[in-house]
Amino acid sequence: MVITTATIEQWLTEDLGHHDVTNDVPGETTGRLVAKESGVLAGTEAACAVFEYLGVEVTESSTDGDRIERGETVLTVAGPAKSILRGERIAVNIAGHASGIATRTRQAVDAAREQSDTVRIAGTRKTTPGLRGIEKRAVVAGGGDTHRLDLSHMVMVKDNHIAELGLEEAIAHFRERVSFATQIEVEVETPEGGRRAAEAGADIVLFDNLPPAEVERGVSLLEGAVLAEASGGITVEDVPTYAATGVDIISMGSLTHSAPSLDFSFRTGE
């Protein structure tokens, strides 16, 4: 992901306003971003980009995907005090938010490995507007899969499409319109619906809001013909049970919309 100058300027404008007196501090100083709890690190690329835009020298002590411990310094900075102080809150917020997502994702991946060495834990499009790139990269840092990044990456035939067109007709409708490189995933609400979708030409079947026993039955009906995914309110605690059903993917909106931030602090002059 490229952190654009426009994005950084938007973040700074939001935080600094029109007349920042608070950070009008003369001289040079140093600072460091410190973890206040253990977890998995993410968001450092964006945090570094903010400081570098402000003319601050940055040295990373850890990289995205690393397990970090309470009290660990993840990056240090040196430069004008005014610039460091202006960038520190944005850096803390981004690192905290992204690391929280990465930590929750790693927990889900570890839970899945209790039952399966191959099932993928994936994010969804339930992301914060303007922060999808950072949040999706955080999922990857935690060992997860991004799923589709936006609507152009894959067609997902959902219940509303099926209500309007019918299952088979909806699949045929989109198959005529997509590139040969674009997969079609179909959301179903019964095990039998999964088999119908596969027979109609789906590349991936998503069993949505089904209990594990029903998902397992749906997977058996597919007989390995297409990829199988489970989704719908799945928590980290639920992951091992769903991983045991034989699905290929477990997607979890909670990775991005409900993960608590990892706590960081920024200390200057040390």
- Tally the domains of the chain: 2
Cα–chain-centroid distance for residue 268? 30
Q: What is the pLDDT along the chain (270 residues), one digit of tens a residue?
A: 678 999 999 999 998 888 878 888 899 999 999 999 999 999 999 999 999 999 999 999 999 999 999 999 999 999 999 999 999 999 999 999 999 999 999 999 999 999 999 999 999 999 999 999 999 999 999 999 999 999 999 999 999 999 999 999 999 999 999 999 999 999 999 999 999 999 999 999 999 999 999 999 999 999 999 999 999 999 999 999 999 999 999 999 999 999 999 999 999 986
177 and 264: one domain? no
Tell me the chain's radius of gyration from C-alpha atoms: 22
pLDDT at 117: 96
pLDDT at 181: 92
25 and 68: one domain? yes
226 and 156: one domain? yes
83 and 105: one domain? yes
Q: What is the CATH number of the domain that holds 62?
A: 3.90.1170.20
Query: Residue 28 belongs to what domain range?
Result: 5-109+259-268
196 and 229: one domain? yes
103 and 124: one domain? no
pLDDT at 163: 93
173 and 60: one domain? no
Q: What is the CATH number of the domain that holds 220?
A: 3.20.20.70
* Calpha distance 162→49 (Å, rounded): 44
DSSP per residue over 171-225, as a string?
Answer: HHHHHTTS-TT--EEEEESSHHHHHHHHHHT-SEEEEES--HHHHHHHHHHHTTS
Helix, strand, coil % over all residues of the chain, rounded to 5: 40, 20, 40
263 and 249: one domain? no
pLDDT at 17: 87
Active-site amino acid positions: 126
Residues 202, 171 contacting (CB under 8 angstroms): yes
134 and 246: one domain? yes
Global pTM value: 0.94
Report the SS3 class of residue 122: strand
Report the SS3 class of residue 34: strand
Q: Which two tokens stand for residue 36?
A: 């206040």
pLDDT at 21: 84
20 and 35: one domain? yes
Q: What are the b/e assignments for 166-190, b being 16+ CB within 10 Å?
A: ebeebbeebeeeeeeeebbbbbbbe
Helix (H), strand (E) at residue 30: strand 28-35
Report the SS3 class of residue 94: helix
Closest to 63 measured CA to CA, from 31, 36, 41: 41
pLDDT at 1: 61
